[in-house]
Structure 1
Amino acid sequence: MRGAVMLDRIIYVTGYGRSGSTLLDMMLGAHPQVFGAGEMSTICRHVWPNDEYCACHARVRACPLWSDAVTEWQASGIDLDRHAMLQRRIEPILSHARRGAALRDYCDQTLALYRIVARRTGRPVLLDSSKSPGRALALARAGVDLRLIHLVRDPRAVAHSMSVPMQVDTEAGVQKTLPAHPVARTALRWSFVNAGAEAALRRIAPAHGLRLRYEDLVADPQGALARIGATVGLDLDAVGAAIAAGGTIAAEHQVAGSRIRMTGAMTLRPDMGWQRRMSPRAQAVVAGLCGARMRRYGYAAGGTGSASA
């Protein structure tokens, strides 16, 4: 354990699922000061209770990082079931107005785990890609240096991804059966969750938050990471240049998130296949439900799927 390192700031990724947060976590985690932790909100909810796999391919209760970090957290007086209960009260999007003892306990306990992980990894910047806007809203009230990245992706791409079921494959990072969801359901949830992420951005200093499109991240990783670096207070030029030149990225100890965290070292591979595979009718349904927010984020809502510059 590297006892000299203290938590300096938190980078939090918010937005809807299947938008590239695991990929972004891996990219930012390539910086020597950043620890990409994955979706830390899942630890008490299912990762620890179910002893799921860390990206290091060990189960979390045997992982050299998480086993010791969670044990230390518990030894400080944290009850994991009670923390999960606090999460159910605080993290839903519309609960950000809740105040009082529950919110204080939630923030204090969450920050305690962040500090333990920062100290044990020797990295002062912790990246939590949990995505929940309610978690972001709570952290914005916690009196810490919070940098917020609102990651968005064309809702047609998201809806297509969620329309494809996945079977359990625990070692590959799929911890439960994921059923196919109707594209209209995904479109409505995409709009709702991203509205919550916008609310979270309004709660912090403008210079400490930005909105980033997945499509821009994969098309110009160097430019996207330069923007992120200016927001989070880090020089990410070397990381961006290496990725743009075909260098590899890899997850270390990410919990939960996309299956790509389990694949080991990989190069950046944009995923735009939905434009070929998604039917025009399904695309039109999503565009009809999300059109206004799509246009605000710079997506063309008509015709075949494409993102405007």
Structure 2
Amino acid sequence: MVAHTPAGGTGKLPAMSRTKVLSIVGPGRSGTTLLAGVLGEVDGVCNVGELRWLWHRGILQRRPCGCGRPPDECPVWSQVIAKLAMGSTETPAGVVAAQDELAARRHRLRVIRGATRADPDWSALQRVRAVTGQLIRAITDVTGARVIVDSSKRAQDAAVLAGLDEVDHYVVHIVRDPAAVAFSWQRRDKTVQVGDQVHTMTTRRLLPSLQRWSENALSAEVLRRCVPSERWMFLRYEDFVAAPRPTVSRLLAFLGEEENAPFVDEDSVVLGLQHTVAGNPNRFRVGRIRITLDDEWRSRMPRRRRLLVRALTWPLLLRYRYPVGDATARSRPTDPSARERQSPAEP
């Protein structure tokens, strides 16, 4: 998140302004952190990272913000937390308990459908939604942002935001070939260099990776039916990295933003320090970044594993236009004329 000073230096937006909130929904290792970071360099846009973790990892565990400090010492989040404390009776532990109730697998569909249906009898949902609304207002007051980008990834977290009356909510659903996702989670040598420190990425076995990929995709499909088509955009990771600048420009237009994409050339961007409250170690990267396709899985992932991935995920592969066989994925058209013939809500 990059802090911006609003007009007049008051820390508040004009009364008639409505904050736009973009939820990035998609499985981990699909470019969500990178996409959020690029958007965070646009003037008036704040990348807050994975917002759902503010109370647990940020406030209770005091894990570092993207600036390297715990949130209560961060120049941005400390102000946000102070505003929250003045306007809410909730405790961080209480919010985490309510979030845990919503996160249970048996409640997932109820949470997602709550994006468009009132559920007044469910206290946990009402509490999380109320404090999330207060949080969005506090972030807007402190940063003066027009757009807040939340890369929490899960459809149920996006559904909580979709139910807020005071924001204009948008969703970009990003997917990546599940074989690439599974391979990335299994790599034990994947590290991120941040200054003098080396961060090792979390690992996950093949079947749990595929289960989460499928659950994320199916949850997103349910959420898509609860979000207006003009507020939903589908994006494949492979198409994003093939044409980074046009893709980000299209995403900004989708949000109704007239700012230019923050690129120094067609596939390179300079990332500054952003106040991301949580996310994978890539959120700490600063400096010039060249966006390229990571397809190491094609040469290093055993063929039998690639075929197993296809066998377990083929219905969704067909929907998202990936090959069911062990072959190179077909690219979707990314030129504007082709996009005019496709709804942004449809894969």
Q: CA deviation at 1:60?
A: 2.2
1:235 to 1:301, Cα distance in 2 relative to 1, 3 A = farther
C-alpha separation between the residues in 2 aligned to 1:85 and 1:55? 25
User: Which of 85, 92, 102 does residue 90 from structure 1 map onto?
Assistant: 102
> Runs of 4+ in structure 1 displaced over 6 angstroms?
166-171
Paired position in structure 1 for 2:222 = 199
Paired position in structure 1 for 2:336 = none
Q: CA deviation at 1:141?
A: 2.2
Aligned 1:96-107 pairs, distance under 5 A: 96=111, 97=113, 99-100=119-120, 101-107=123-129
Paired position in structure 1 for 2:281 = 259
CA displacement 1:261-309 (0-9 Å, x = unmatched): 1121231332222222211111111111111101211211212453433
**The residue matched to 2:67 in structure 1 has which SS?**
coil
Q: CA deviation at 1:128?
A: 0.8
C-alpha separation between the residues in 1 aligned to 2:193 and 2:64? 7
Paired position in structure 1 for 2:269 = 247
1:263 to 1:240, Cα distance in 2 relative to 1, 3 A = closer
C-alpha separation between the residues in 1 aligned to 2:154 and 2:48? 15
1:45 to 1:217, Cα distance in 2 relative to 1, 3 A = same
Bigger drift between 264-273 and 21-30 goes to 264-273
C-alpha separation between the residues in 2 aligned to 1:55 and 1:20? 17
CA displacement 1:170-194 (0-9 Å, x = unmatched): 97595x983x432122112211111
Give the gaps of 5 or more residues in structure 1. none
Paired position in structure 2 for 1:4 = 12
Aligned 1:138-153 pairs, distance under 5 A: 138-143=160-165, 144-153=167-176
Paired position in structure 2 for 1:231 = 254
Paired position in structure 2 for 1:43 = 54
Paired position in structure 2 for 1:27 = 38
1:173 to 1:58, Cα distance in 2 relative to 1, 3 A = farther
* Two-structure CA RMSD over aligned residues (Å): 2.5
8 Å Cα contact 2:263/2:270 also seen in 1: no
Give the gaps of 5 or more residues in structure 2. 333-347
1:169 to 1:247, Cα distance in 2 relative to 1, 3 A = closer
C-alpha separation between the residues in 2 aligned to 1:264 and 1:169? 11
Q: Percent identity?
A: 27
User: Which of 136, 144, 148 does residue 114 from structure 1 map onto?
Assistant: 136
Paired position in structure 2 for 1:277 = 300
AA of the residue aligned to 1:24: L
1:220 to 1:185, Cα distance in 2 relative to 1, 3 A = same
Structure-2-length-normalised TM-score: 0.80
AA of the residue aligned to 1:59: P
C-alpha separation between the residues in 2 aligned to 1:50 and 1:139? 24
C-alpha separation between the residues in 1 aligned to 2:85 and 2:268? 41
AA of the residue aligned to 1:85: A
AA of the residue aligned to 1:64: P
Larger Rg: 2
8 Å Cα contact 2:270/2:286 also seen in 1: no
Task: Tell me the number of residue pairs that the alignment of Structure 1 and Structure 2 aligns.
Answer: 306
AA of the residue aligned to 2:244: P
8 Å Cα contact 1:19/1:153 also seen in 2: yes
